[in-house]
Every structure is written in structure tokens, then in C-alpha cells.
Homo-oligomer: A and B are copies of this chain.
Amino acid sequence: MAPRALAATLDTLPPPVLPLVEADAAGPAQLRDLYRMLSNVRQLDAAAVAWQRQGLIPGYAPMLGQEAAQVGAGAAVDTTRDFVFPTYREMGVAYTVGVNMVDYMSTHKAIWHGGLYDAVATHFAPFQAVVGGSVLHAVGWAHGQTLNAASAAETALGVGLAFLGDGASSQGDVHEAMNFAAILRAPVVFFVQNNGWAISVPTEQQVAGGSVAARAAGYGIPAVRVDGNDVLAVLSATQRAVAHARAGLGPVVVEAMTYRRGPHSTSDDPGRYRTLDDEKIDGGEDPLSRFRSMLLAGNVADAASFAEVDAQAQQQADEIRDGVVALSSRPGSEMFDFVFQESTPTLGAQARQWREESEHV
């Protein structure tokens, strides 16, 4: 079999009405910046796996192999007006859009489920553990932008980016989301990382028909299926999708064909369901080396500059580690504080009892 990333592409997204503001052909600075992000994300991901082995965090869901998909998608987001709805594996997107990574990692340290980062300020919704759980939120949020624009007589819309996996595409909610989005003409981009696996189940046993992008046509939604290990291809496809949605033309499905090179999570054992040979063939060339080769070929960067960036990334990962080590538990009282905006007498009494019995005050 060929690497997954080379799967037949599909592109039904019409050309932009207005030329894209972001140039399709990225300049050298942007290319180097993309590499910097890829490298940082790679190092941080490897670091987080190590932290788990060291007992610093109880678990982690690695995104090894999905760096190009996540950095490419994240780089197309305008965080002043768009909003990202991640799953539990979008560390690379979080990094790229500027989420504080110590606060992000707090969820993996089991400190706070949604993460300690400020979702509103960063336009990056809380960490989501329900597969497919937040896809509809993106639709609702995006429809809100349409309503806002209507009353403000604006034309450029904020875009909701719903992240989902190949496995998530099986959930009824994802279907409802695509149908609602198309009916409401909501400015949403459904960004599917088809990484070949949902834990132990390969895409072939998951996605009947073989492609989430191919389903878009059934809703009258344009779609792009793209090599998810080519950061520039992902960036450009996402930019086009965002521009389409921003212009009020409705939702778009982007399916980035990539590969989950690591285990599903730090408690998974892929050896039970796939061989190392499979991994090698299906995974194809590492997205970072591919991008490095490209930059080298284009004389945009050289080995020394890569080494420098990689070293900086390593250092940044170390700093984040320090931050994660320093993260302390949240006080138990916060269990009660954040249930409601306006607490209730019952909850107040429970909080008091908890204080007396557990804090002995």
C-alpha cells in the first residue's frame, strides 16, 4: 500500500470570489516560521510523552505525524475573529494559534478537564473529550457570527473551525452538524484529520465510502481532500476554506489525510493491532523531513538553521516542562465554584460540608 497521505485528492471548493488576502505562495519568512512551529510542536509532543513515562502527567494523546495537518490548519486561523473547536489531540493547533502551553498541558496533568487556558481570550474552546462533541458547537457559534454580521451589516464573518477525526465522523452529531451548517449556511470549516485510526480501528472499518470529504457533496457542501503531511497544502486548503466561509458562502469540509504515527494515547499498545511495517508504509515520509527537504531545495533554510530552531524548540519544551512541574492542584473548592454562574443553596451546603469534612475548617 501507498502512504495514506497520497490518497486521491478531491477538490470541489469553487475559486474565491475575492482574491485571498493571504498569498498562496508563502514567502521565506513565513516558511521558516512554519518550520519553527512544526519543530516546536514535534519537540513538545515528544516531551509530553516523556513526561508521562516519568510520572509527571498521568496520560497524553500524542500527535506525532500530524504536525503538518495541525500547524497548517492553525496557521490559517485569524484568532481575532475565528474560533477553534478542538478535540483532545489538537496540541499542535493550540500551539500555533498561541494558546499558553503550560495552561494547555494542565488538562493532561489531570488538573482541570477543560484546561486552564482562557478559551475566550484565545478563541480556542476548552479541551473536548467527547468524540464529535464540539462539532455542533462550532456550527452554533458560526451561525451566531452570521446573526451578528446581519445586525452589524458586515460582510466578513468570523469562522468556526471544528476539528474532528476519522473516527468522529461516524457520530450522529457530525452528520447533524453538517446538515445544520449547510441549511443555516453557517461559516464553519469542518477540519477532519483522517489519521487512519480511531484507537485500534482503521479508517476502512470506520468510514464507509472511504472519505469524509466525499460525504460533503451529499449536503451540498464543497470539500477539499488534501495531503495532510504537506504543511503548505494544508495551509492553503484551510485558507481557501476559511475565505469561503468568511465570505458568507457557507461551510466547507477539509479532510487532511495524515497518519497517527504513535499510539492512540500513552496507555495504548498499537502492537496489538498493527505492525511496524504497516506503520512505515502507511505513514509515509515524516512531515517534518518532507518540509525540511523542501526548504533545503528552495534554499530557504539550511541544516544549521534547522539545528538552531530545533534546539530552541527543545529549550522551549523544557521551559514548558518547568511550568507543568510547577502547576499546582486547584483547590477543591473550585469543584463547587464553577458549576454555575449563580450557585444554589444545595450546592452551597455541600461545599460547606466538604470544607468541614475534607479541609477540616
Task: Return the contact of A208 from the options B170, B208, B220 (Cβ within 8 A).
Answer: B220
A–B Cβ pairs within 8 angstroms, 19 of them: A171-B172, A172-B173, A172-B174, A172-B176, A182-B208, A182-B209, A183-B205, A183-B206, A183-B208, A208-B219, A208-B220, A209-B217, A209-B219, A209-B220, A210-B220, A214-B218, A215-B219, A217-B217, A217-B218
The residues in A between 208 and 244 inclusive whose CB is less than 8 angstroms from any CB of B are: 208-210, 214-221
Return the chain B residue nearest A210 by Cβ: B220
Q: Which residues of B sit under 8 angstroms from A181, Cβ to Cβ?
A: 208
Q: Identify 8 new A-B residue pairs, CB closer than 8 A, beyond the known A183-B208, A209-B220.
A: A171-B172, A171-B176, A172-B176, A179-B208, A182-B209, A208-B219, A214-B217, A215-B219
Q: Are A170 and B176 in contact (CB under 8 A)?
A: yes
Q: Which residues of B sit under 8 angstroms from A208, Cβ to Cβ?
A: 178-179, 181-183, 219-221
Q: Which residues of B sit under 8 angstroms from A183, Cβ to Cβ?
A: 205-206, 208
Q: Which residues of B sit under 8 angstroms from A221, Cβ to Cβ?
A: 208-209
A175–B219 CA distance with the chains assembled, in angstroms: 12
Main DSSP-derived SS at the A contact region: helix
Task: Return the contact of A209 from the options B176, B209, B214, B218 (Cβ within 8 A).
Answer: B218
Task: Return the contact of A215 from the options B171, B173, B215 (Cβ within 8 A).
Answer: B215
The number of chain A residues with a CB under 8 A from chain B is 26
Shortest Cβ distance from A181 into chain B, in angstroms?
A: 8
Copies of this chain, whole number: 2
Q: Which residues of B sit under 8 angstroms from A216, Cβ to Cβ?
A: 218
Return the chain B residue nearest A175 by Cβ: B175
Q: Which residues of B sit under 8 angstroms from A171, Cβ to Cβ?
A: 172, 176
Shortest Cβ distance from A207 into chain B, in angstroms?
A: 8
A170–B173 CA distance with the chains assembled, in angstroms: 10
Return the chain B residue nearest A209 by Cβ: B220
Task: Return the contact of A175 from the options B172, B182, B206, B214 (Cβ within 8 A).
Answer: B172
Return the chain B residue nearest A201 by Cβ: B183
A215–B207 CA distance with the chains assembled, in angstroms: 14
A218–B192 CA distance with the chains assembled, in angstroms: 15
Count chain B CB atoms within 10 A of each CB in A171, A172, A173, A181 and give the residue with the most.
A172
The residues in A between 178 and 193 inclusive whose CB is less than 8 angstroms from any CB of B are: 178-179, 181-183
A221–B174 CA distance with the chains assembled, in angstroms: 19
The residues in A between 142 and 182 inclusive whose CB is less than 8 angstroms from any CB of B are: 170-176, 178-179, 181-182
Q: Which residues of B sit under 8 angstroms from A219, Cβ to Cβ?
A: 208-209, 215
A178–B215 CA distance with the chains assembled, in angstroms: 12
Q: Which residues of B sit under 8 angstroms from A214, Cβ to Cβ?
A: 217-218
A229–B317 CA distance with the chains assembled, in angstroms: 66
